Structure 1
Amino acid sequence: MSTLTEVSELAARVRERLTALHPGAPVGQLRTLPGGHSGLTFAIDAGPASYVVKAVPPGRRPLGRDDVLRQARVLRALATAGSVPVPAVVAVDERQPAWFAMEFVTGEAIEPVLDEHRLYAELCRGRMLGLPAVLRELHRSGPPGLEAADPLDPAAELDRWSRTMRAVPLELRDGTEELMAGLAARVPAGLPPVLTHGDFRLGNVLCAEERPVAVVDWEIWAYGDPRVDLAWFLLFADHHNFPRLGREIPGLPTEDELLAVYLDGRPHLPDLDWFRALARTKMAAIMGHNLRRHREGRHHDPDQERLPPTIEAMIRTARDILG
């Protein structure tokens, strides 16, 4: 937990840098932005401009999701390449605790089948149909200047989420040992690694009406198999995947429609069902992990008690997909 003094010191560093960018303009105070589960995220105004600041939590090491400098690096590389819309990074401070500032992009990041919202169905459909092209551009070629060492192949992805799943209490993951054994027995050959987002979906893309204007939340980007990103995105097309959580949106595109947009006339991707089963395994593992943290008192969130039916459905349908 950050102290008032530590946040004040961070604010002074941020305000000093933004004052240099906007000489003579008033620079406001840091305001905590709600949402998210990693790092510290703030908003701040400098003259007519608004920025988002992401910082390493005081006392934490800049590793994993807290490595904000790694996030800044991928955002700068993507902005230079210009094929994927991302916020522009305007300042980076590598002194500990590290932070960076990026432009505040106006838009909505709403997951139609999971979030509470009042968007009309046609807008939800249009937004979702606009995303496969963005994902395709992301996967088409990695921007220069990013390390491509140790890409995650399908076996590494399975190992990663199997370890997360096995940390979930047994009563929440009935049937997962058989599921993970089935996945392990059928690991497909990997495709050439590409830049992947790791959590690509409408909830992480700011949209202005139907147009995607910024892909955000790059905490777990990696080089890996494009089918990992694709199968995860497709999971959010159907509210039936999320019992007690999902809401039906009439006319939302099907997985097949979204896949056709992504492929854009290219040949069908092999072994996609294996990745669809993996995506469900990943979702069950994440939800089970979050529910465990709530029940152990590490992150109090009573809403997590709604998750067991969806965890069960993810495990069941993953096994069904594998046959």
Structure 2
Amino acid sequence: MTPTLEQRVTDRLQASHGLTVDSFAVLPGGHSGLTFRVGTLDDAGSRSEWVVKAVPEGQKSIGRHDMLRQATILTALADTDVPVPRVLEVDREEPAWFAMELVAGESLEPVLDDPAVAPDLAAARMLRAAEILPRLHAVDHRKLPGLAGDVAGPVLSPGDELARWGKTLGAVPPELVVGGAELLDALAATVPDPIAPCLVHGDYRLGNIISDGVEPVALIDWEIWSIGDPRVELGWFLVFADGTNFPGVGREVPSLPSAEELVDAYTAGGPALPDLAWFDALGRLKMAAIMGHNLRRHREGRHHDPDQEKLPATISRLIETGTALMART
């Protein structure tokens, strides 16, 4: 009989690390693969907790289920100053899984998640996240272990990113993303030249940063990391700095830093980054495309979630503000 995931994890942690599993429970909130909270005891009786991310039964490590690729980048960053969880174990037998340390702290998006974060704390965390992001972008990905060959994938230019999210937008019925095609055309007409590529997380925001008070202690959810333009990452981060971007699904948080303040924190007095308004608008198009995709799946009955019916106002707002940004460039 094929062993269950729990049995595989139990056997591997015992054999490789002398750890006895005493709890194994689903950890809610994950959107890629399966996520579990696992408790262990060592021979001295000391207890530790871990997060196990696993490929669903019957699937392989491909796309958003590619746990091996996530484990690779976390392992590669272990000796850098980028805060990431420590990887304990990787099982490459399909369906693959890996175990990493459970990092204590909060990972809450102030404008979207519950419970609400106190405004002063939310503002401080956002500024600190902007200050920390250059650490990731400064890592020399060419020297990181395990990223040779096809693991990192192709270097993505701004045009590549636009094509990627334009494809997602194009799969959504036009009536769910009114004005989206026009915003896409405006972006396509003025694609900026790329700057030096770097390692990008792909979904850098406070919801994917575990914070201890103000300080980021772990950057999590690496399923779409790539080598690309750092401004793509920064533009996406800016989308979450304004609660008015999310009417009906989010909240306005007083005192959040402005886009200008966040960019200043990122550059730390260095040279200005060109064409940031384009990347801010791209981030809004990306979010509108993702939300339109989720709303379509709900209405087609592929993933029933009545909360998706709250999205139309936010989709419209994102497209309208993205279009306004492009009109000013």
Q: Choose 114-123 or 195-204, whichever is displaced more.
A: 114-123
SS in 2 for 1:61: coil
Question: Could you tell me the TM-score, scaled by structure 2's length?
Answer: 0.93
* Residue in 2 that maps onto 1:35: 29
Deviation for aligned residue 1:21: 4.5
Match of 1:95 among 90, 93, 96: 93
Deviations for 1:215-263, whole angstroms, at most 9, x for unmatched residues? 0000000000000100100111111111112212221111111111100
Percent identity over the alignment is 53
Q: Distance in 1 between matches of 2:297 and 2:253?
A: 31
Is the aligned partner of 1:259 residue 2:253? no
State how 1:1-323 maps to structure 2 within 5 Å. 9-23=4-18, 26-47=20-41, 48-80=47-79, 82-143=80-141, 144-145=144-145, 146-147=147-148, 148-323=152-327
The structural deviation recorded for 1:20 is 2.8
- CA-to-partner distance for each residue in 1:21-72, whole Å, 9 max, x for gaps? 443x531242111112210111101111110001111111211110000000
* Structure 1 gaps, min length 5: none
Tell me the distance in 2 between the aligned counterparts of 1:56 and 1:78.
22
Q: Could you tell me whether the CA contact under 8 Å between 2:37 and 2:50 is conserved in 1?
A: yes
Count of equivalent residues: 316
CA distance, structure 2, for counterparts of residue 92 and residue 26 of structure 1: 17
SS in 2 for 1:130: helix
Show structure 2 runs of 5+ residues with no match: 42-46
For the 8 Å contact 1:50–1:104, the answer to whether it is kept is yes
For residues 273-299 of structure 1, give each alpha carbon's deviation from its aligned partner in whole angstroms, at most 9, with x where no partner exists: 111111010000000001111111111
Cα RMSD (Å): 1.4
Per the normalisation by structure 1, the TM-score is: 0.94
Deviation for aligned residue 1:149 = 4.6
Deviations 1:77-127 (A, max 9, x none): 1112x2110000010010011110000101110000111214322111111
Q: 1:62 & 1:94 partners in 2: Cα distance?
A: 9
Q: Take 1:150 and 1:119, find their aligned partners in 2: how far apart are those partners?
A: 38
Question: What is the CA–CA distance in structure 2 between the aligned matches of 1:286 and 1:104, rounded to whole Å?
Answer: 28
